[in-house]
């Protein structure tokens, strides 16, 4: 067989294999993805189906939904509330990107026993929604800085709920003012793959931590999700070096959700402001 016929046969065979693989749906794995969402409280619709309409108007792929609120402690554990979120997502095409327990800032996980049931139940809600990450907030009354006793309680409570989260395929993300080392100490003390860091660059900087040292120290495998914000400013108009941060995020090959939080000047229209924030981030990242 001459070389020309061999080349032609090879090309035909390769094409047939490619076609077969494509038809089977296993031709290529999806490329690394970063998806863009926003927090429901930041778009002014906490635990409210209307948050999905706002996210769609902004042009976002997802919305981070509050598990519960100060006025509704049961939150997504109420079947009707859960269904309203499912229906809003289906209607708008906007995903439920993750859940959050921001209420832990005022009703601390480290000191209030009823928060244990909230966290446990939030795992079930996440499973029902097909969500992989739950943010656990540790600010204000729940701040863990210089509170060894509080950290000890948090570790013990996380040890109890972590196996449940593991079983449901859900990650519990710690968001706090703690340093990278302190976060890692908690994660290692809990000893579960279900507990990671929910990283917020602005919070870290406000706490006096160097984000360009901290993020590599934690590593992408222990960062479950990212918050992007500038308190009182639109993105790109505050003090954070977002182009440099974007380079670091790309270098670490981060894959997952990125949520815009805050980044709204006082009195600004939320949708217009978030559209500008989205466009700014689209200039720095490739969203799929």
More confident residue, 6 or 245: 245
191 band by pLDDT with thresholds 50, 70 and 90: very high
Q: How confident is the model over 142-161, as pLDDT tens digits?
A: 999 999 999 999 999 999 99
Nearest of 280, 214, 273 to residue 249 by alpha carbon:
214
Please check the confidence at residue 18 and state whether its pLDDT lies above 60.
Answer: no
For 72, which DSSP code? B
The model's pLDDT over 30-42, given as tens digits with 9 standing for 90+, comes to 544 899 999 999 9
The neighbour count for residue 6, using CB atoms within 10 Å, is: 10
Q: What is the mean pLDDT of residues 53-64?
A: 98
Give domain limits for the chain.
Answer: 33-282
Distance (Å, whole) CA 279 – CA 274:
8
Mean pLDDT for all residues in the chain: 91
Question: Quick one: pLDDT at residue 28?
Answer: 45
Helices (H), the chain: 3-24, 50-58, 79-92, 114-129, 148-168, 180-190, 201-206, 211-218, 242-251, 270-282
- Greatest mean pLDDT among 13-17, 108-112, 265-269 lies in 108-112
Gap between the Cα atoms of 196 and 164, Å rounded: 15
DSSP 172-241: EEEEES--HHHHHHHHHHHT-TTEEEEEEHHHHHHTT--HHHHHHHH-GGGEEEEEE--TTS-TTSSS--
Report how far residue 175's alpha carbon sits from residue 170's, in angstroms, rounded to the nearest whole number. Answer: 16
CA distance 235 to 213: 22
Q: What is the mean pLDDT of residues 172-197?
A: 98
Which residues, 6+ apart, have CB-to-CB distance to 229 below 8 Å? Answer: 42, 200, 201, 202, 235, 260, 261, 262, 263
The answer to whether the Cα torsion of 139, 145, 151, 153 is positive or negative is negative
276 CB contacts (<8 Å, ≥6 apart)? 234, 235
User: Is the pLDDT at 100 greater than 80, yes or no?
Assistant: yes
Determine the average pLDDT of the residues in 177-204: 98
To the question of pTM greater than 0.85 for the whole model, the response is yes
Domain 33-282: which CATH number of 3.40.50.2300, 3.10.129.10, 3.20.20.150, 3.40.50.300: 3.20.20.150
% of the chain beyond a pLDDT of 90: 87
In this prediction, residues 239-258 reach a mean pLDDT of 96
């Amino acid at each position: 067989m001459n070389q020309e016929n061999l080349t032609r046969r090879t090309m035909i065979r390769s094409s047939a294999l490619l076609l077969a693989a494509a038809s089977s749906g296993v031709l290529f794995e999806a490329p690394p993805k970063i998806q863009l969402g926003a927090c429901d409280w930041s778009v002014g619709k906490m635990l409210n189906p209307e948050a999905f309409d706002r996210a769609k108007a902004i042009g976002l792929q997802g919305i981070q939904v509050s598990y519960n609120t100060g006025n509704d402690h049961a939150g997504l554990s109420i079947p009707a509330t859960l269904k309203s979120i499912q229906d809003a997502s289906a209607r708008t095409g906007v995903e439920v990107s993750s859940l959050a327990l921001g209420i832990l800032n005022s009703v601390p996980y480290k000191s209030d026993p009823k928060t244990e049931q909230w966290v446990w139940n939030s795992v079930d809600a996440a499973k029902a929604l097909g969500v992989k990450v739950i943010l656990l907030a540790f600010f204000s009354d729940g701040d863990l800085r210089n509170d060894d006793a509080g950290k000890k309680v948090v570790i013990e409570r996380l040890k109890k709920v972590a196996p449940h989260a593991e079983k449901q395929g859900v990650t519990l993300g710690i968001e706090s003012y703690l340093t990278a080392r302190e976060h890692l100490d908690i994660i290692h003390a809990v000893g579960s793959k279900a507990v990671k860091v929910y990283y917020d660059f602005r919070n870290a900087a406000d706490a006096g931590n160097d984000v360009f040292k901290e993020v590599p120290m934690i590593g992408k495998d222990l960062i479950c999700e990212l918050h992007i914000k500038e308190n009182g400013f639109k993105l790109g108009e505050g003090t954070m070096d977002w182009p440099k941060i974007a380079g670091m995020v790309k270098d670490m090959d981060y894959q997952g959700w990125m949520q815009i939080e805050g980044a709204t000047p006082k009195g600004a229209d939320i949708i217009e402001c978030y559209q500008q924030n989205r466009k700014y981030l689209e200039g720095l990242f490739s969203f799929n």
